Amino acid sequence: MTGKPGLFISFEGGEGSGKSTQIRSLEKWFQDSGHEVVVTREPGGSPGAEEIRNLLLTGDPGRWDAVTEAFLMFASRRDHVERTIRPALADGKVVLCDRFADSSVAYQGYGHSLGADYIRNLWALAIGEFKPDLTLVFDLPIEIGLERAGARFANVSAAEDRFERMGTEFHQRLRNGFREIAASEPKRCRVIDATGDIDTVTQRVINTVKDSLVGQGR
C-alpha cells in the first residue's frame, strides 16, 4: 500500500457520448503525471460482474423488467466494488470507471421510470454511501449519441446494444435524468459538453479534472 488516498472518477452519460475514448485520454494524462491507474467499467469490472454484464446488455430490450434489471445492476456493482474498486483505492491508485451507480439512477430510475429514490435506496443497500470522488457527466443531443452508438455496433455480432434499442423517449428521459443528477450534486458531478472533436472534448475533461482536484485540495 502507498499510504496515499486513491482517487475514484466515474464517467457517465447517454449512449454514444464518447466516455470510453475520454477515459483512455485521461488514463494517459494521469500516468504521465506519475499515477498508477486502473480503468474499469460497469456493468462488469470483475469476473462475476462481467458474467452479469452479458445478461444485461444483450438480447431483446424487454428481456428484463425494470426492477429485475435494477437488481442485476446492483448485484454486478457490489461485486465490482468489493473485488476491484476498493482494493485499488486502498493501494492509492486512480480508478477510472466507465459508468457507476449514477447510471442506474438515470437508466432505471429516470429511463424506466422507477424513480430516483427507489434506485438510491438500492444503492444504499448494496454499497452503502460509497460514491466516486468526481463524476464527469458527458452531455450531448440524443440524436448525435444514438447515431454514434449505431455506427459503433453496425458490424458487431452479438452486440451489447440492448439499451440503444429502447427508443428515443427512453433516451430523452435518460439525458434529462443525468442532467438532474448533476444539478443535485454539483460538488461531485461536473457536466462535460460532449459535442465537438475528440481533442476538444479531451481538453474540457482535463481542465475540469484539474479544477476539481484543486477544489478538493489534492
pLDDT in tens, 18-32: 898 999 999 999 999
- Largest distance between two CA atoms of the chain: 47
Q: What whole-number distance in Å separates Cα of residue 37 and Cα of residue 30?
A: 7
CA distance 32 to 42: 25
Mean pLDDT over all residues of the chain? 90
Given a cut of 90, whether residue 163 has pLDDT beyond it is no
Candidates 3.40.640.10, 3.50.50.60, 3.30.1490.190, 3.40.50.300; correct CATH number of 7-210? 3.40.50.300
End-to-end CA distance of the chain: 18
Ramachandran angles phi, psi of 35, nearest 5°: -95, 150
Q: CA-to-CA distance for 74 and 208, rounded, in angstroms?
A: 28
Grid coordinates belonging to 216: 478538493
For residue 10, what pLDDT is reported? 98
Higher pLDDT, 34 or 216: 34
User: Do 136 and 202 touch, CB atoms closer than 8 A?
Assistant: no
User: For residues 20 and 152, is the Cβ–Cβ distance under 8 A?
Assistant: no
pLDDT per position as a tens digit, 34-50: 999 999 999 999 999 99
What is the Cα–Cα distance from 174 to 102, expressed in whole angstroms?
A: 11
Question: Which range, of 50-54, 145-149, 155-159, 163-167, averages the lowest pLDDT?
Answer: 155-159
8 Å CB contact between 30 and 95? no
Q: Which of 25-34, 135-144, 170-179 has the highest mean pLDDT?
A: 25-34
Bigger pLDDT: 153 vs 159: 159
**How many of the other CB atoms lie within 10 Å of CB of 57?**
17
**Least reliable range by pLDDT among 4-8, 27-31, 113-117:** 4-8
Tell whether the model's pLDDT for residue 215 goes beyond 60.
Answer: yes
**What digits encode the pLDDT tens for the residues 55-84?**
998 888 888 999 999 999 999 999 999 999
Which tens digits make up the pLDDT trace of 191-201?
A: 999 998 999 99
- Which pLDDT value is given to residue 152? 61
- Residue pair 97/8 in contact by the 8 Å Cβ criterion: yes
- CA torsion angle for 100, 158, 145, 26 (degrees, to 10)? 50
- 1 confidence band (pLDDT: 50, 70, 90): very low
Buried b (16+ CB within 10 A) or exposed e, 116-128: bebbeebbeebbe
Q: What is the pLDDT of residue 3?
A: 56
